[in-house]
Amino acid sequence: MKQKLVVIGNGMAGMKTVEELLQSAPDKYSITVFGAEPYGNYNRILLSAVLSGEKNMADIIINNKQWYDDNGLQLHAGHDKAVVSIERGLRKVVARDGTVAEYDRLLIATGSKPVVPDIPGINLTGVIGFRDILDVNTMLSYCETHQQAVVLGGGLLGLEAANGLLQRGMDVTVIHNNEILLNRQLDRQAGQMLQSNLENRGVKFKMSAQISHLVGNAEQHIQTVYFSDGSQLPCDLLIMAIGVQPDISLAKRAGLYCERGIVVNDTLQTYDPCVYAVGECIQHRGATFGLVAPLFEQAKVCANHLSAHGMAEYVTLPTATKLKVTGIQLFSVGNFLGDEQCEQIHYNDVKQGIYKKLIVKHNQLQGAVLYGDTALGSWYQELIEQKTNIADQRQALIFGGPLSGNAAAPSPV
């Protein structure tokens, strides 16, 4: 008789785990999936491409609803089907509409939620996040009827939102609280090159800025953004993109141990041995996650243990950053700033718009920033992950490896 597996969360991490499980142990579980959105599983990282018009909604669907039927999965999708409680003593979950599902094993993949800044006026109409299809549809409707967009946050998500809104014809200003764009991934040189590129496309920037409050019109729709320096900007649409935080509210109510995220061990198991968790909602050895690569690795490890093979362990590795804006080549991985014990290797071709910086310590690559030419990015990441001794290729490292024909250079990413 099949065991019962319930999955809370129909996003990329949870469903990747299910896909892996269907491959490794297709007959082990009867699987029930709960998702808060009324769709099958879709590729959330391509929402920016839908916003910019490079893709449509159909292009980003990973598994449509027919796929669930074909694989014998029971899908409960939509707002009323969102799980509101986990009763661990009875091993069951309860959805908003009262739907109940019992489990032998439970997988929590509730993802993350946008960080909402504590700013007066933040609850005005026209202030939204950028997390799901509903947010994209809202932005697209504004593009048809409004003009002035403000994006709060100069990180990856904010810049992708700004580019998409610009492509749709809006006047876009990015507000960032640092003087360097992508300051968690780029140094000053690369950040300035990125900003210049985006400015040439038409994006405006207000750097090192702090919003003091938001003001709406008589209908309580956002109208103006005010800053701590006394300046102001007209605004029809404000996108919040200052980061995400693990969505752990359901797990906390169930009494699972949480810190910043749901705490899991190397097998993605929580403190309850019947309950696993993957994705942006978890905390593993102190780290939380916001990019897709580690989520998919977690899915593989989790599926390995749910299938009772029990061999894999999850290890957190340096994750690379790439910006999904057409025409901009950008790559960052590892410790890209270094310290007093590190050496820095630079290459800068102003005319070609190419900048590279490598951080080396004790003959090991620690980090890399690439702008304009990212062909060696995956190789640099591999050197970092494997802690390779690069002494014999130190002089030519920035060009792709040993002096003898660049034999170590990989194919472009």
**Looking at the chain, which residues constitute the CATH 3.50.50.60 domain(s)?**
3-113+244-306, 127-240
Which of these CATH numbers, 3.40.50.1820, 3.30.390.30, 1.10.3720.10, 3.40.50.2000, describes 330-399?
3.30.390.30
127-240 is classed in which CATH architecture? 3-Layer(bba) Sandwich (3.50)
Q: Order of strands across the sheet with 100-102?
A: 83-87, 92-95, 100-102
Q: What is the pLDDT of residues 148-161, one digit of tens each?
A: 999 999 999 999 99
* pLDDT attached to residue 48: 95
198 phi-psi bin (left φ>0, alpha ψ -120 to 50, beta other): alpha
Place of tokens 């990989």: 410
For residues 150 and 203, what is the distance between their CA atoms, to the nearest angstrom?
A: 10
* pLDDT attached to residue 405: 43
3-113+244-306 is classed in which CATH architecture? 3-Layer(bba) Sandwich (3.50)
- Model-level pTM? 0.91
* pLDDT attached to residue 51: 97
Going from the first residue of the chain to its last (413 residues), give the mean pLDDT of each consecutive group of 10, the final group possibly shorter. 97 98 96 96 95 95 96 97 98 98 98 95 97 96 97 96 97 98 95 97 98 98 98 98 96 98 97 98 95 93 93 88 89 91 93 95 96 94 94 89 46 40
For residues 327 and 45, what is the distance between their CA atoms, to the nearest angstrom?
A: 17
- Rounded to the nearest 5°, which phi and psi values hold at 69? -65, -45
For residues 298 and 313, what is the distance between their CA atoms, to the nearest angstrom?
A: 9
According to DSSP, the residues that pair with 357 across neighbouring strands are 346, 369
Could you say which DSSP state residue 146 is in?
A: -
* pLDDT attached to residue 281: 98
* pLDDT attached to residue 198: 97
* pLDDT attached to residue 402: 54
* pLDDT attached to residue 401: 63
Q: Shortest CA distance to 7 belongs to which of 93, 127, 128?
A: 93
User: Token digits for 9?
Assistant: 């969360």
DSSP string, 316-347: -----B----TT--EEEEE-SS--TT-EEEEE
